[in-house]
Amino acid sequence: MPKRNDAGDGYSAGFIADGVAQCRDYGMELPFVLFASSANGSTYVARYFQTGPGDKLSCEVLGDHTVDSGFEFPINIMIVDQTGEAVRIGIEQLGPTFH
C-alpha cells in the first residue's frame, strides 16, 4: 500500500502479512487474492502466489488507489483462495479481528 497515515507505516502491511500467513496455516490454497479497503476509499488489490519450493511467496499488485490522507481506520481486508474460501480481517486502531 503506497501512502500511509496512522493506519500505515507497516501497521496495516504487518496485518496483511500475518493474515496471508494465517490463511496458509489454515490450509487455504494458493494463489490468494487480497482486497484491502479503507473507510476513506483507499484500496489495494494483490495476488500472492508461490514461484518455487519453500515458504516464500511472490506478490503481484493488481491495483491500488490511495487518497491523500492514506489508509484510515477501519480497514477491511478479504483474502480469497483458489477454491473460493474467504477470510475477512477488520482492522481497527486496537488491532485486527478475523472473521
In a domain, 90, yes or no: yes
Q: How confident is the model at residue 10 (pLDDT cuts 50, 70, 90)?
A: low
Given this model, what pLDDT does residue 98 score? 67
Asked if 47 contacts 27 with a C-beta cutoff of 8 angstroms, the reply is: no
In a domain, 70, yes or no: yes
In a domain, 68, yes or no: yes
In a domain, 42, yes or no: yes
> In whole angstroms, what is the distance from residue 96 CA to residue 99 CA?
10
> In whole angstroms, what is the distance from residue 19 CA to residue 16 CA?
5
Q: For residue range 45-97, what is the model confidence (pLDDT) as tens digits?
A: 999 999 888 888 999 999 999 998 888 889 899 999 999 999 999 888 776 67
C-alpha cell at 10: 507497516
Number of domains within the chain: 1
In a domain, 1, yes or no: no
- Show the domain range for 32: 11-98
In a domain, 27, yes or no: yes
Given this model, what pLDDT does residue 4 score? 40
Q: Is the pTM of this model over 0.75?
A: yes
CB-based contacts of 33: which residues, under 8 Å, 6+ apart? 45, 46, 47, 48, 62, 79, 80
